Structure 1
């Protein structure tokens, strides 16, 4: 942030860690963009914690994993170009430095309740507005700040969040290997297929035989067919190979192996420690390959009549 006076003359919005931590990535992004939207509305610099906790649904250990880096998943350089942001570590360093060197402390307004709306803070002159989320769940979710009347004037800056260039390079390699001429079937299985109470037909409707029957009526034989899926068993889709040129994400695991550019860059970013190509990275790559397909077949619109969020939610 530069000199002492730069820090004192800045205006910051700081969010303490709330109940969103270790929740799914969709909730994390919904909350993070609410916070960023409030910072933009207040014309303040947002203090950003780059450390992410990845929810158990996306980890190989099936436990929540802390210490993941925002930059593994998203393009931090683009974010900094489109929004006023300072990393939490740098912010604390400068704050401590100021307090050490000056008797007069930096002015801080602590906001303990998300019900204090952004427009009530608009004229606040404090250097730091510090929102604290100490209440029990669900009162401590960041996105609560953007609910109710606030939703009318807080805009979530979706354009600021792009996927990591490292992952997008993998997407480009995969798409290029199929000459950019391919179709995608998105096969959702995993826990949903096992939960017969909420998804009574999903398992049967995404069985190998069922997939062959349904896809033959939709996709031309012998096309490049990319299967975007959370099914862990690689050979599950072998029956499709008699009809299509089948591609799965794991066919491209050399793109994140220890000889890859991705491996070198993420290891460097992680202070020399290895980075796992985790479940959320897989989702990001699969999703982006899906967007580039000539045609797309979706689980909950084409393959099964079960509802996306379980029975009676269609």
Structure 2
């Protein structure tokens, strides 16, 4: 007789099976959650904003950057651009405060009332009341800038004129740059013994108060014997020239900041090559140009102050001299030829020189590849280290000052994109003067100062807009880089006595800064044309 399986036994077995399965699933879930908790790293705001910038201002195609070259964003612009994630910059120095009219200034005026001879026409510019009147006038007139330290007013060209120099910064600007102005003020003495400013001169009109020009100190310091003794005890990160050389400016930034980020992560001095190649893509009408100087485009003085760097020629000479002086007692060097060696693996390396070589074929010889993969989680690109050249920023300041920092800005992209009807079928027509004028009428009040940042080269192209607006273009200010100008003389001295062309990349940098400083910003794509920025069917 066969033995049957009772329903009771079957139920017990089924219950045990389900219990074991549930317990096993529970263990798997616990282990998974534990693993996630151990390995998870919260998003780094530096990395997030850097990734965002790379998506907006560059696009990668076959590992080579193809991008809009008409705007250049550097570290000092990051916080000026909306939509970019939080980036932690240091607060401005506590010793620099916005100047206001203090209570003690007002008390001085009240105490001095009736104690002067109002019949005297000539004004004593050093009288504290003059400074109070000038501060009040500036606060009322320049609402878009923060005013900082004043110098004592001095006599102008007439008995009622006083010239004074002061420092300022636009309220919208988040970098630590400070600017200087010196103006002529015409004042009237009141019967109460106070003073009233009746006229303020234009930018840099107060010639008698012109401060001695602050010399840009971006020269390469020489190493003396005392410095040589420190050379052996320092640690350096040296990148050989890779495939990034002569690539576009956006790719250079992305790679250069990767290298600086690795140097900071490893706590090493980075070796900077000032010999720069300007890509033809950043200078329309020209091919790639070697022999440029990095200091033409970026603020090397700020870089030297903000982090540990050494110029490449100086570094190589010091290295060679050390070996000669010390009888070929070579300093320790580790050559890193493989991108697979990550910064994390080099963290404990004790060699004086870490030398990354980039001898592989493209794209495996790009500097920015060092920061890809797992390295991306730990290397923070230090955007705050890379500022535009002070010499170019002086041009920006002068143009903004001539407009009293009160203007709107329009960015018009034309050039090759307007000629390519397959990718941008409407751009040419949409950026015609007539079309632009119609678009602006609903966005910018008639009669306003409007600065147009553009790659359009045809003279007079935007003249029709002058019927409704006060139009300003970069070429209206050619005297600021013409022979004999401060920019011309300083770059010539930097270039061993040879004059420097004001090239397409320099134009882009000035145009970019002018665009960022406008009260209103009108972009070509989305606001002037419905064509996609990167061509047909690429709109997001």
TM-score (norm 2): 0.57
Deviation at 1:253, TM superposition (A): 0.4
1:164 aligned to which of 372, 377, 389: 389
State the partner residue of 1:38.
Answer: 262
Separation of aligned partners in 1, 2:401 and 2:484: 20
State the SS of the aligned residue for 1:235.
Answer: coil
1:119 aligns with 2:347: no
CA distance in 1: counterparts of 2:525 and 2:514, whole angstroms: 18
Q: 2:410 aligns with which of 185, 198, 205?
A: 185
1:115 deviates by 1.9
Alpha carbons 1:199, 1:307 under 8 Å: kept = yes
1:268 is matched with which residue: 456, 469, 493?
493
Normalized per residue, which structure has more helix?
Answer: 1
Tell me, in whole angstroms, the C-alpha distance in 2 between the residues paired with 1:234 and 1:61: 16
Q: For 2:333 and 2:425, how far apart are their aligned partners in 1?
A: 54
Structure 2 residue aligned with 1:288: 513
Give the direction of change, closer, same or farther, for the CA distance of 1:275–1:60 in structure 2 (3 Å limit).
Answer: farther
CA distance in 2, matches of 1:62, 1:195: 20
Check conservation: 2:409, 2:453, Cα contact below 8 A.
yes
Deviates more, 1:37-46 or 1:111-120: 111-120
| Superposed displacement of residue 65, structure 1 | 0.4
Distance in 1 between residues matched to 2:318 and 2:508, nearest whole Å: 37
The 5 A counterparts of 1:226-265 are 226-265=451-490
1: CA distance between counterparts of 2:281 and 2:450? 26
Partner of 1:97: 321
Map of 1:78 onto structure 2: 302
Q: Distance in 1 between matches of 2:285 and 2:528?
A: 30
For the Cα contact (< 8 Å) 1:54–1:64, is it kept in 2?
yes
Among 28, 31, 34, the residue aligned to 2:252: 28
Cα deviations by residue, 1:71-113 (Å, 9 ceiling, x for unpaired): 1111111101111000001101111101112232111111111
How far did residue 5 of structure 1 move?
Answer: 3.0
* Larger mean Cα displacement after TM superposition, 142-151 or 198-207: 198-207
1:18 aligns with 2:242: yes
Q: What does 1:124-163 correspond to in 2, within 5 Å?
A: 124-163=349-388
Give the counterpart of 1:201 among 426, 432, 438: 426
2:531 counterpart residue number: 306
What CA distance in whole angstroms lies between the structure 2 residues aligned with 1:158 and 1:42?
A: 17
Residues matched between the structures, number? 314
Any conservation in 2 of the 1:226–1:246 contact (CA below 8 Å)?
Answer: yes
Report deviation, 1:61. 4.5
* Contact in 1 for aligned 2:270/2:309 (Cα 8 Å): yes
Deviation per CA, 1:162-190, whole angstroms, max 9, x where unpaired?
Answer: 11111111111111111211111100111
Q: Structure 2: how far apart are the matches of 1:234 and 1:121?
A: 55
Distance (Å, rounded) in 1 between the aligned partners of 2:488 and 2:284 = 18
Using the TM superposition, give the Cα deviation of residue 259 of structure 1 relative to its aligned residue in structure 2, in angstroms: 1.9
Q: In structure 2, what is the Cα distance between the partners aligned to 1:96 and 1:60?
A: 40
Is residue 59–residue 65 contact of structure 1 (8 Å, CA) maintained in 2?
no
Say which one has the larger Rg: 2
Q: Which has the higher contact order (CA 8 A, sep 6+)?
A: 1
The Cα of 1:291 is off from its aligned counterpart by: 1.2
Matched position secondary structure for 1:303: coil
Q: How far apart, CA to CA, are the structure 2 residues paired with 1:196 and 1:144?
A: 35
Deviation at 1:60, TM superposition (A): 5.4
Matched, 1:55 2:279: yes
Alignment RMSD (CA, Å) = 1.1
- Partner SS state of residue 301, structure 1: coil
1:37-60 per-residue CA deviation (whole Å, 9 max, x = no partner) reads 000000000011011111102335
Query: Which residue of structure 2 lines up, in the alignment, with residue 212 of structure 1?
Result: 437
Which structure 2 residue ranges, 5 or more long, are not aligned? 1-222
CA distance in 2, matches of 1:21, 1:303: 35
**Quick check: 2:249–2:282 contact (8 Å CA) kept in 1?**
no
Checking the alignment, whether the CA contact within 8 Å between 1:187 and 1:227 is kept in structure 2 is: yes
Stretches of structure 1 lacking an aligned partner (at least 5 in a row): none
Instruction: Check the 8 A contact 1:55/1:65 in 2, yes or no.
Output: yes
